Amino acid sequence: MRGEHSDDVAELVAQYEQLPEGAPVRLAKPTSNLFRFREEGDSPGLDVGRFNQVLEIDSARGTAQVQGMTTYERLVDALLPTGHMPEVVPQLKTITLGGAIAGLGIESTSYRNGLPHESVRELEVLTGSGEVVRARPDNEHAALFRGFPNSYGTLGYTLRLEIELERVKPYVQLRHIRFSTAEECAEAIAAVCAESAFDGERVDFVDGTVFSAGEHYLTLGSYVDDAPFVSDYTGRRIYYRSMQEIGRDYLTVHDYLWRWDTDWFWCSRALGVQHPLIRPFWPRRYKRSDVYRRAVAWDRRHSITDRIAVLQGKGVNEPVIQDVEIPVDRLAEFLEFFHREIGISPIWLCPVRLRDGQGWPLYPMDPETLYVNVGFWATVPLELGELPGRHNRAIEQAVTELDGHKSLYSNSYYTEDEFWRLYNRPAYDELKARYDPKNRLPGLYEKCVREK
């Protein structure tokens, strides 16, 4: 397959060279997990659909060679039979490996394995200049290797990656631990992540769910060889509701990795999928995040929900779909602000600590700090005539005040000066000048903020 990959790279480079120099460049791909819903226009897209294969698995070395458009669903399906998985598996099946590296991914192993790009050994990148380079932490493209995360396709596109793998066991035992206050929950997160243990039992996975200011759950997962029973949340039962009902649970490692995809965390409820009269008739094959996202994209494209609100004499809804990283010792402050000013629930919590002490320049988290990713994905009603942006702007300001960071996969409202203070303009400009000197690809601010 390596030979086929080389042929595909040569064809893609030739296709890139044929694009008009001033024309915008985009990828022609079937799925997206970005929440910046924009018209693609009529410009031709680079055909990267063929870069979706697992090229090689080296069980002895614990590594894999994977093409950039490979979804985590396909990658997990290839790896689990060998007893492995990626060190971090983002929650949604159609996230691509290249997308998680150029953007940011996170999951419940991130407190010990960091972010997905921290388990990458080598990147093969088609740069904005049309050159294909191999970027490693120890070669002449080391700056690109470190600066590629959070570049969102503005420096180039990943064609192939060498990644490190983690050995797995067949099952994951879950413990859902309830806390009454955010302070108690934050203290428990810090303690569990420091020891990889809770109440004398080993912990391999950590995430959490906040249902209200008085109801917080940490879900602690541990690899096990055997399970007394195995739950199934792909049918009538709903995973996130189970943590309020049972204290200990078991899933196959496959179902654990995709526990959030089935109902898009809890967001499928907005589409009626969780209604007891609808759920039995909603086919399992359509209980998937990509199906729900297409429905949301259609609604956004035609403004159906907003039109109905206007006809009812109401204001439109502001999408508040964000993930932010907050230092664990500031988590309670952020949640207090969020409950008071935004009011969305549930909320997802996922601790993360960078495993690489050198850090990553375009997303400058402190390697010595334990952060908690706070994820929230819903809409907030606006007053009649009020334009969207107020709630997102308040969140951006709170995150900055609390020494946090915000992911850029959804709409952002920063001024240009604010943005570059947070996302390291000097480092970005240096990479842009070297790998896309003619600005064939959009700039990071233009792509993530200005293009609405």
> Quick check: pTM over 0.75?
yes
Would you call 60 exposed, middle or buried from its count of C-beta atoms within 10 A (0-12, 13-18, 19+)?
exposed
pLDDT of residue 312: 63
pLDDT of residue 55: 97
Cβ contact 208:215 at 8 Å: no
pLDDT of residue 299: 67
Which helix (DSSP H) or strand (DSSP E) does residue 405 occupy? strand 405-406
Residues 139, 144, 148, 153: is their CA dihedral positive or negative?
A: negative
Cβ contact 173:164 at 8 Å: no
Phi, psi for residue 428 in degrees, rounded to 5? -65, -45
- 96 DSSP assignment: B
Cβ contact 322:338 at 8 Å: no
Rounded CA-CA distance 64/82 in Å is 11
Rounded CA-CA distance 194/258 in Å is 26
| Tens-place pLDDT, residues 206-236 | 999 999 999 999 999 999 999 999 999 999 9
Average pLDDT, the chain: 92
Cβ contact 348:417 at 8 Å: no
Span(s) in the chain for CATH 3.30.465.10: 2-168+433-450
Rounded CA-CA distance 299/316 in Å is 13
> Which fold, 303-413?
Alpha-Beta Plaits (3.30.70)
Report residues of the chain scoring pLDDT below 50.
452
Span(s) in the chain for CATH 3.30.70.2520: 303-413
pLDDT of residue 31: 65
Domain 2-168+433-450: give its CATH code.
3.30.465.10
Q: Which residues contact 115 (CB under 8 A, 6 or more apart)?
A: 88, 104, 105, 106, 149, 352, 354, 360
